[in-house]
Amino acid sequence: MVKSYVDILRKTAAYRESRVLTSAIELDIFTQLGDKSLSADKLAHKTNTLRDGLEILLNALSGMGLLKKNNNLFSNTDLSLKYLNASSSESITNYLWLAAQNWNQWCDLTKVIQGKADKNKALGTENPELKKRFSLAVNERSLQVIPKLLQHIHVGSAKSLLDLGGGDGSYSFAILEKNPQLRVTIFDRPYMITAAMLRAFDKGVITKIKLVAGDFFKDDFGGPHDIVFLSNIIHIFGAAENKRLLEKITKALNAGGKLLIVDRFLEDDKTNPPEAAFFTVELFLRTDSGRCYSWSDVIHWLKAVGYSGFRCTRIDESAGMLDARMAS
């Protein structure tokens, strides 16, 4: 919250901290440091950068508390070693790298809101590096959310679950591990289904998972299933597309079946939580009609196609889950 003159100045200049951090990610500084202490000279050599520029960046990162500086040697903090070093199992480097790729789009915000710039500058979805990083980023983010989310997913006597837009399968695998009686279908675009297949083999769950490559708006969802899980999907689309998607899902659900929608839900006045309010600005910039929605927006759509028994659960500061039941 901005509460003072100083806060206003800090917020206005916050782009500097963001760019220092995302440049460090793009230059792979935290990974190159690993558990070592290195001079700016050594690190400039390893990262193929200008020594002076790098040292200035390293000092700024140290000032932010993301590196430690001792006797002109730089090293990771516990936090950066855990999250910003690509070798760590909890690394979010792909997620942050992807955020850095949005930088130029944010520069156009004023013009886009004035209607003077083209807003739909897709991030080159055919670019192979981007595809790979996107898939890894989805996994990194899900690792943080899944343990909290699982506490709120109760499958009861359900035997089948459809994970629509299930990405690389992270959520499906975690749900399956907790509920081994389930048979899970993951539906996604072909390149994500390939990623999910590789992971399913790796985890030894390929016989319990059905993988379906398709498009939400063109292909059949199969079923009927006892549960449909829809995580981080509705924000990609506008209201009209979401209504079509939710109506199509009703046909893929058994009577009395459950729909679980996970997303960055906004409170009804759409100003909070801040992470969702900012994410919706980003969606406005880079999608045709994507938005974060309030719980009431989605409940309204769901009521129109026959759902009831709504339950809204906050999972963390950004994610929430809306639980609804199809009429029996």
Ligand X SMILES: C[S@@+](CC[C@H](N)C(=O)[O-])C[C@H]1O[C@@H](n2cnc3c(N)ncnc32)[C@H](O)[C@@H]1O
- The closest alpha carbon to 248, from 235, 264, 259, 236, belongs to 259
DSSP for 87-123, please give it.
Answer: TSTT--HHHHHHHHHTHHHHHTHHHHHHT-S------
Report in angstroms how near the CB of residue 116 gets to ligand X at its nearest.
Answer: 28
Using the rule CB under 6 A, which residue among 93, 167, 260, 285 binds ligand X?
167
- The closest alpha carbon to 290, from 219, 244, 241, 218, belongs to 241
Q: Which of residues 202-231 bind ligand X (CB under 6 A)?
A: 215-217, 231
Report in angstroms how near the CB of residue 19 gets to ligand X at its nearest.
Answer: 24
Using the rule CB under 6 A, which residue among 55, 140, 188, 226 binds ligand X?
188
| Residue 126: DSSP 8-state | T
Stretch that binds ligand X, among 20-28, 37-45, 173-181, 232-240 (CB under 6 A): 232-240
Report in angstroms how near the CB of residue 63 gets to ligand X at its nearest.
Answer: 33
Q: Which of residues 114-143 bind ligand X (CB under 6 A)?
A: 138, 142
Using the rule CB under 6 A, which residue among 165, 257, 273, 320 binds ligand X?
165
Using the rule CB under 6 A, which residue among 146, 153, 174, 192 binds ligand X?
192
Stretch that binds ligand X, among 47-55, 83-91, 162-170, 178-186 (CB under 6 A): 162-170
Nearer to ligand X, 115 or 147 (CB): 147
Report how far residue 84's alpha carbon sits from residue 93's, in angstroms, rounded to the nearest whole number. 6
> Should residue 169 be labelled a site residue for ligand X when binding is judged by CB under 6 A?
no
Q: In sequence order, what are the beta bridge partners of 231?
A: 262
Stretch that binds ligand X, among 4-12, 79-87, 185-193, 198-206 (CB under 6 A): 185-193
Report in angstroms how near the CB of residue 192 gets to ligand X at its nearest.
Answer: 4
Long-range CB contacts for residues 20-25, cutoff 8 Å, separation at least 24 = 20/57, 20/60, 20/61, 20/64, 21/61, 21/64, 21/66, 21/96, 22/96, 22/97, 22/99, 22/100, 22/103, 23/57, 23/100, 24/57, 24/61, 24/66, 24/84, 25/84, 25/93, 25/96, 25/97, 25/100
For ligand X, the binding residues (CB under 6 A) are 138, 142, 165-167, 171, 188-189, 192, 215-217, 231-233, 236
